[in-house]
Chain A
């Protein structure tokens, strides 16, 4: 880049003070940031990205400690500045983090807090003007009705909305540079894509340089001019984005790029589709589930959240069935229906031809044995105060399958099978990594030798490398035990790799069911297209986000408007979509989509 750098980082090292000395987290980091540049920083979790991003804004608290180096902005080392001086600099140095929900005081209105910040760093701005500026900016980041939103509380904002508000918070003082640490991590892909687009626009408008930190190379490569690769606390490579992707120099970068799942460039399905002649192992027939929630601030009026609406599909033995959708689409409720944690209000869930809602006693226990679930959150899904061996034993004890030495042997063999060292048998889960915890979860499910395993976002909390290993494990288990998998996920790349058939959900409905390649190469529903357009990938995009998705977020599942639920975000919506709701329509083969355009094409073709 040209001209004098805005920010100079030299030999920056941060360590963790432990009882026995200082353990380095990042060491010898050095780079320059030019005005208006977007610098991406990429690395696996544990590489020290967050520590680096905090060091750049002088936010290093004990037990972390800056051990050497400088961060020079306008010829001052901000790591040495006294708190008072640093605070006046905060108007030029801004930070947005990965936790939008926690970044503001939950007890005060959002707008008021942004004004408070602006007036803390720029006291000369009068209150009225500050307020006006905040409202203007809230509008500029496309938060609908900013006048009203100004007075609302953080808990009333959705994740994507809150991240926009925090971008306003960062940009309100017109900073010279902005550190954006994993800003899109908690967001759904379609919302993340919008936020990313927004950040690029705003930096041009405000002349702000950005340090953009993420663990997802595709995301960073979408945003950044140059990319810096961080591995084990050191910079291993820095290149212009295109060059980095095309010709990675360092082995670590090469490995990183090789692990990024391909969507369109390779045939990635891992297993052959099973023979279709067999009976379905799971059939879900027109299942609907609603919840009643008390309306806020009312005495006795309730509104209905329709979490799952008229869902129908079959899963066949030996299949890998995928259910995809973004948060709030009803995936979790569907999981609860499939696993009989809840019963549908109407419709049926059949397993091996039996209605599971009617099961009880022995029949239910038998179903429980055959049908296991691996859950999403590696930290919540293990009882924190039970030893790992005991956790895995519990299902066996519950079913009275084995006792004594036999019990221990079975547990140890399952642990071995999922790649957990037997030495962990007596350990508490406290010290385990997320990947190891998920293996314990898999072991707890596998120990009952089930026929069906539902993977509810099982891999979403793991980094690429761990995901890769666990998927290998799942494949292996499937070959050995003839399992049927149902993957519930928001990660299209993962689904592309492992699933034969995929159902796409939006606001409680299945909008499309198709074979893997048909779904990715010839999607029938505009929402599927929008999802595909937002997938972070290094490949040439088949679908452009600009063409596939309107601004905005999904409507609330409470009191849905009539018509197709995707209308508000659909670029192809027309008159009929506002009045009627389309049903799943066959579009050749067994593939179905719920869109009037499909119907139209078919009728046109027939005519």
Chain B
């Protein structure tokens, strides 16, 4: 009963968020200067033809009308078709405007469907790496505030947070892949290709997790029930494992929820560097090609992922700490 009403409320809120995001991106794309038709048709195309194509595609209608039409499609599960990509796969160049009729262009949903699993695999592995590392560094730091494990955690997080992901990606690719040949780096040819990008993402994600974990563990250890636990006869290991970590995991979970969008941002860059065929790479090419429907579709999907993950996170947090009510 509780779970059901919670889900209904959160899904309604989530739908609102996704709607706002769509509206935001849609408006931005149309307000910001730069004509996609010009890019599709190529620089040589005559002005009249460009106008014609734009009219055919409905790009000259008022923004609200366009948005209404678009949302109508979204509600039916139709995210539209790419401006530039043919259904066969590789993106078309500007000169082929003559033959890129509507029917041949790729469905946005298909394009996202092909790349999303790759990105989820990368993101999942990155979170796993980041969590394991943060636990190893952050928990000892939180249990010994002011002493050396705390300082180690402090320095590690300060340095990690200062490593730009794209630069780290290049350096690691050069060292681990080119020089040492331990891991494959560029493109995708099996699970091993995920590891290096995931490490880069994990390094980006870990510092915040470490700081939060150190802080929340140290905070929980100051709670009266921890001190009293000892007097009540519980062993220190039991207090830490069963109570301190349990309580400290709630802020960590919330943080992961918030960090998801940051992670997706990182995915974008890392996939670009490693030429990893995921959603991030798709986004960058879509932006560079001014492929409006694809950008919109990706924005909807990423915000939906964000919404779902946050619902899941809050649900887990409520199960851990029944005082929380979302």
* A/B touching: CB–CB < 8 A: yes
Known: A107-B322, A155-B323. A120 touches B234 (CB 8 A): yes
A133, CB-defined interface residue at 8 Å? no
CA distance A155 to B323 in the complex (A): 7
A103, CB-defined interface residue at 8 Å? yes
**Interface stretch (choices A296-304, A376-384, A535-543):** A296-304
The answer to whether B322 touches A169 (Cβ under 8 A) is no
The answer to whether B5 touches A153 (Cβ under 8 A) is no
CA distance A169 to B325 in the complex (A): 28
- Residues in B with CB closer than 8 Å to A95 are 228, 231-232
Chain B residue with Cβ nearest A114: B232
Rounded to whole Å, the gap between the CB of B232 and the closest CB of chain A is: 5
A104, CB-defined interface residue at 8 Å? yes
The answer to whether B232 touches A102 (Cβ under 8 A) is no
Other-chain contact of B233, A91, A97, A105, A108 (Cβ < 8 Å): A91
Q: Specify which of A83, A105, A173 lies most central, judged by the most chain B CB atoms within 10 Å of its CB.
A: A105
Known: A106-B321, A120-B234, A153-B323. A297 touches B246 (CB 8 A): no
The answer to whether A105 touches B243 (Cβ under 8 A) is yes
B138-159 interface bits toward A, Cβ cutoff 8 Å, 1 = contact, 0 = none:
0000000000000000000000
CA distance A173 to B6 in the complex (A): 40
CA distance A104 to B5 in the complex (A): 29
CA distance A353 to B224 in the complex (A): 50
B230, CB-defined interface residue at 8 Å? yes
Chain B residue with Cβ nearest A298: B5
A340, CB-defined interface residue at 8 Å? no
A59, CB-defined interface residue at 8 Å? yes
The answer to whether B242 touches A116 (Cβ under 8 A) is yes
Rounded to whole Å, the gap between the CB of A468 and the closest CB of chain B is: 31
The answer to whether B322 touches A297 (Cβ under 8 A) is no
Chain B residue with Cβ nearest A100: B224
B244-283 interface bits toward A, Cβ cutoff 8 Å, 1 = contact, 0 = none:
0011001000000000000000000000000000000000
A57, CB-defined interface residue at 8 Å? yes
Known: A117-B234, A121-B233. A297 touches B2 (CB 8 A): yes
CA distance A411 to B224 in the complex (A): 40
Q: Place the interface of chain A in its size category.
A: 20 to 34
In B34-87, the 8 Å CB interface with A consists of none
Q: Specify which of B5, B233, B238 lies most central, judged by the most chain A CB atoms within 10 Å of its CB.
A: B233
Rounded to whole Å, the gap between the CB of B14 and the closest CB of chain A is: 15
Chain A residue with Cβ nearest B317: A107
The answer to whether A104 touches B242 (Cβ under 8 A) is no
Other-chain contact of A90, B2, B8, B233 (Cβ < 8 Å): B233
Other-chain contact of A153, B227, B230, B236, B322 (Cβ < 8 Å): B322
Other-chain contact of A97, B228, B250, B320, B321 (Cβ < 8 Å): B228
Other-chain contact of B225, A105, A121, A298, A299 (Cβ < 8 Å): A105
B223, CB-defined interface residue at 8 Å? yes
B102, CB-defined interface residue at 8 Å? no
The answer to whether B234 touches A102 (Cβ under 8 A) is no
Other-chain contact of A107, B6, B235, B321 (Cβ < 8 Å): B321
- Residues in B with CB closer than 8 Å to A91 are 233
Rounded to whole Å, the gap between the CB of B225 and the closest CB of chain A is: 5
A102-126 interface bits toward B, Cβ cutoff 8 Å, 1 = contact, 0 = none:
1111111000000011001100000
Q: Specify which of B6, B224, B236 lies most central, judged by the most chain A CB atoms within 10 Å of its CB.
A: B224
Chain A residue with Cβ nearest B6: A297
Chain B residue with Cβ nearest A107: B321
CA distance A108 to B238 in the complex (A): 14
Known: A107-B246, A299-B9. A59 touches B231 (CB 8 A): yes
- Residues in A with CB closer than 8 Å to B2 are 296-297
The answer to whether B224 touches A117 (Cβ under 8 A) is no
Other-chain contact of B230, A59, A102, A116, A296 (Cβ < 8 Å): A59
Known: A97-B228, A153-B323. A117 touches B9 (CB 8 A): no
B1, CB-defined interface residue at 8 Å? yes
The answer to whether A107 touches B320 (Cβ under 8 A) is yes
The answer to whether B8 touches A299 (Cβ under 8 A) is yes
A405, CB-defined interface residue at 8 Å? no
The answer to whether B233 touches A155 (Cβ under 8 A) is no
- Residues in B with CB closer than 8 Å to A296 are 2, 325
The answer to whether B228 touches A103 (Cβ under 8 A) is yes
- Residues in B with CB closer than 8 Å to A106 are 225, 247, 321, 323
CA distance A59 to B233 in the complex (A): 11
Q: Specify which of B5, B8, B250 lies most central, judged by the most chain A CB atoms within 10 Å of its CB.
A: B5
In A144-180, the 8 Å CB interface with B consists of 153, 155, 169, 173
CA distance A164 to B233 in the complex (A): 19
The answer to whether A87 touches B235 (Cβ under 8 A) is yes
A129, CB-defined interface residue at 8 Å? no
Other-chain contact of A61, B9, B227, B235, B236 (Cβ < 8 Å): B227
CA distance A299 to B1 in the complex (A): 10
The answer to whether A117 touches B8 (Cβ under 8 A) is no
Q: Specify which of A102, A107, A121, A296 lies most central, judged by the most chain B CB atoms within 10 Å of its CB.
A: A107
- Residues in A with CB closer than 8 Å to B323 are 106-107, 153, 155
Rounded to whole Å, the gap between the CB of B66 and the closest CB of chain A is: 35
- Residues in A with CB closer than 8 Å to B247 are 105-107
A99, CB-defined interface residue at 8 Å? yes
The answer to whether A105 touches B322 (Cβ under 8 A) is no
B302-319 interface bits toward A, Cβ cutoff 8 Å, 1 = contact, 0 = none:
000000000000000000
- Residues in A with CB closer than 8 Å to B224 are 97, 99, 102-103
CA distance A107 to B223 in the complex (A): 13
Rounded to whole Å, the gap between the CB of A55 and the closest CB of chain B is: 12
Chain A residue with Cβ nearest B233: A90
Rounded to whole Å, the gap between the CB of A102 and the closest CB of chain B is: 4
- Residues in A with CB closer than 8 Å to B236 are 83
Chain B residue with Cβ nearest A301: B5
- Residues in A with CB closer than 8 Å to B223 are 102
State the B residues within 8 Å of A (CB). 1-2, 5-6, 8-9, 223-225, 227-228, 230-236, 238, 242-243, 246-247, 250, 320-323, 325
A/B interface sample: 17 pairs, CB < 8 A = A57-B231, A59-B227, A61-B227, A87-B235, A90-B233, A97-B228, A102-B224, A105-B242, A105-B246, A107-B320, A116-B242, A120-B235, A153-B322, A169-B232, A296-B2, A297-B2, A299-B8
Closest 4 CB pairs of A and B: A90-B233, A297-B2, A102-B224, A121-B233
14 additional A-B pairs beyond A59-B227, A91-B233, A106-B225, beta carbons within 8 Å, are A97-B224, A97-B228, A99-B224, A102-B225, A102-B228, A105-B242, A107-B247, A120-B238, A169-B232, A296-B2, A297-B325, A299-B5, A299-B8, A299-B9
